[in-house]
């Protein structure tokens, strides 16, 4: 019984994070209403993982819109590689 409850809590936490990431993506794309923006911003203030996601989403958005500098810092590729390596693998 305790294992099932732990699994349910873990699944609920994963669903909650997926929702937060989805809302964050919508916010970056300017597709979220004001009430949801307020909720996402409050969570963003206290969630380090969501803050990292925020940074990545804005970098992706900047790349897609052509808003990158002419030259990048030499360690840029290494930092991207480290971030990719730190991402969890899909289940």
Average pLDDT over residues 30-49: 91
Mean pLDDT of the chain: 83
Residue 6 clears pLDDT 70, i.e. is over it: no
Looking at residue 13, its pLDDT comes to 74
Decide: 43 and 50 in contact? Cβ < 8 Å: yes
pLDDT digits (tens, 9 = 90+) for 46-75: 999 899 998 888 888 888 888 877 776 778
Residue 9 clears pLDDT 70, i.e. is over it: no
Confidence class of residue 3 from pLDDT cuts 50, 70 and 90? low
Residue 4 clears pLDDT 70, i.e. is over it: no
Of 46, 39, 33, give the one whose Cα is nearest residue 20.
Answer: 39
Residue 89 clears pLDDT 70, i.e. is over it: yes
């Amino acid at each position: 019984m305790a294992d099932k409850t732990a699994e349910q809590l873990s699944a609920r936490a994963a669903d909650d994070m997926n929702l937060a990431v989805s809302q964050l993506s919508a916010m970056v794309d300017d597709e979220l209403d004001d009430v949801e923006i307020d909720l996402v911003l409050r969570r963003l203030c206290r969630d380090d993982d969501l803050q990292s996601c925020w940074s990545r989403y804005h970098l992706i958005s900047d790349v897609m819109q052509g808003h990158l500098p002419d030259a990048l810092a030499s360690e840029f590729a290494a930092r991207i590689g480290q971030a990719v390596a730190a991402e969890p693998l899909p289940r």
